[in-house]
Amino acid sequence: MEISLVVNDQDIKDFHRLPFEIYKNDKLWVPHLMQDVEKVFDPKKNKLFRNGKAKRWLLKDGGKVIGRIAAWVNPRYSKGMEQETGGMGFFECVNNKNAAFKLLDTAVNWLKEEKMEAVDGPINFGEKNFFWGLQIENFNAPPSYGMNYNPEYYKEYFEAYGFRIYYEQLIYQRDMFLPAQEIFVRKYNILMQDPDYRIANVRGRTEEQIAYDFMTVYNNAWGGHHGFKAMDAGQAKRTIKALKPVMDPDIIVFAYHQEKPIGFYVNIPELNEIFSHVNGNLNLIGKLKFLWHKWRKTPKTMVGIVFGVDREYHGKGIEGAMIKWAEIYVVSLNRYDQTIMTWIGDFNPKMLRVIENLGATLFRKLATYRLNFDPKKEFKRMPIAG
């Protein structure tokens, strides 16, 4: 077996072609869009290259590609940690322990050369809503857009190598036709009798208005707390602009008090129910297929990408009221059957309780693993939020 850096166009093609071989008999698998993956490794599009660096490798046996891996150094990621921690991801490998270990050795040795003391993975050289975690349970449904999906034997190889679970990533599902619990119905009715409160979707609102509302709720719910940095207006506008091509204004919900945005329940259609038809490539043909299925409203699942309430309004039933509102105004559209909620770390028990109280059930489990390079160093799991 020989390992080599990805350095040219053919290597990049091989990097993207390998998963099609590994998952050729898996009917649930949906390939990541190659355009999304390549953005991660493009210094012109990924601002983390300003202070960080990344490498990726291919593993071949007799000229045939049998594995791939990437690793990176991101100073922002290690900030606040007890040790310098690098990242690795985009791991794919045939069912061969020696091959898997050779890939992991390559990433770890490079990170050691870069003065790292530990590695987390599989993670992304970018935001946590994409390409983050190793799937470890519930392999009975297709992955959501941007979420990692892998064979069950990857878990065995990671743990045999010495990786330990740093935190679990829990994904919940809720049947759209499940009635809201009675307590939430009461909260909703009480709130709706108060003219100072209202709940609405974003249909008819401008990008600027949506961005302002999003920033306001985000900052009052999390900004400056539990490791979340406050969001500025520019970042909010970029976030909403990025959502616009896939946005369904009927399923982005805000709660207001005296016209101040105090809560959001932001959903998008499950894009993998469209991207399963484009074969991992959003080229011209892929874009035409995407537009066709978007026009046909193909997705029957919506994905909750963010759910939160202004800290000052906790305990007032805003969460349940938004769910009840969605039951009334979204279910009636007869377009979506279920909602999948983006992953929540097991280090955030408060949010997990909120989601479970809303009637959601555990749907899938991923994990972020950590390996300390010094085996004598005490292993610590992610601290509990709050």
| 60-93: pLDDT as tens digits | 999 999 999 999 999 888 887 889 999 999 999 9
Alpha carbons 153 and 331: distance in angstroms, whole number? 39
Q: Nearest Cα to 59, choosing from 24, 20, 23, 105?
A: 105
Return the SS3 of 260. strand
pLDDT tens track for 126-147:
888 899 999 999 899 999 988 9
Rounded Cα gap, residues 351 and 368, in angstroms: 18
> For residue 74, how many other CB atoms are within 10 A of its CB?
20
Query: Whole-angstrom Cα distance, residue 276 to residue 272?
Result: 6
Q: Which amino acid does the sequence have at 341?
A: M
Write down the pLDDT at residue 205.
Answer: 94
Q: Is the distance from CB of 170 to CB of 356 less than 8 angstroms?
A: no
| The pair of three-digit structure tokens given for residue 165, joined into one six-digit string | 């679970």
Would you state the pLDDT for residue 223? 67
- Give the amino acid at 280: G
- Identify the pLDDT of residue 60: 97
> Cα separation of 384 and 386, whole Å?
6
Local structure of 71: helix, strand or coil: strand
**298 DSSP assignment:** -
177-336 topology per CATH: Aminopeptidase (3.40.630)
Instruction: Give pLDDT, residue 221.
Output: 86
8 A C-beta contact, residue 111 and residue 71: yes
SS3 369: strand
Tell me how many degrees the CA angle 317-187-386 measures, rounded to the nearest 5. 15
Helix or strand (DSSP H, E) at 218: helix 207-221
Longest alpha-carbon distance in the chain: 72
Beta pairing, strands 301-309 & 338-345: parallel
- The answer to whether 67 and 99 are in contact (CB under 8 A) is yes
Cβ-contact 369, 121 below 8 angstroms: yes
**Regions of the chain short of the pLDDT cut 50:** none
Report the candidate in 282, 364, 263, 375 with the shortest Cα–Cα distance to residue 320: 263
* Residue range(s) occupied by CATH 3.40.630.30 in the chain: 2-168+368-372
**pTM, two decimal places:** 0.88
| Residue 68 phi, psi (nearest 5) | -150, 155
CATH of region 2-168+368-372, choose from 3.10.180.10, 3.40.50.1970, 3.40.50.920, 3.40.630.30: 3.40.630.30
State the sign of the Cα–Cα–Cα–Cα dihedral 103, 109, 112, 113.
negative
pLDDT of the residue at 224 = 58
User: How many Cα atoms occupy the beta-carbon half-sphere of 379 within 13 Å?
Assistant: 15
User: Which segments of the chain are extended strands (E)?
Assistant: 2-5, 53-61, 64-73, 85-93, 118-121, 134-137, 164-175, 197-201, 252-257, 260-269, 301-309, 338-345, 361-372
Would you put residue 99 in left (φ > 0), alpha (ψ -120 to 50) or beta?
Answer: alpha
Q: Tell me what pLDDT residue 386 has.
A: 62
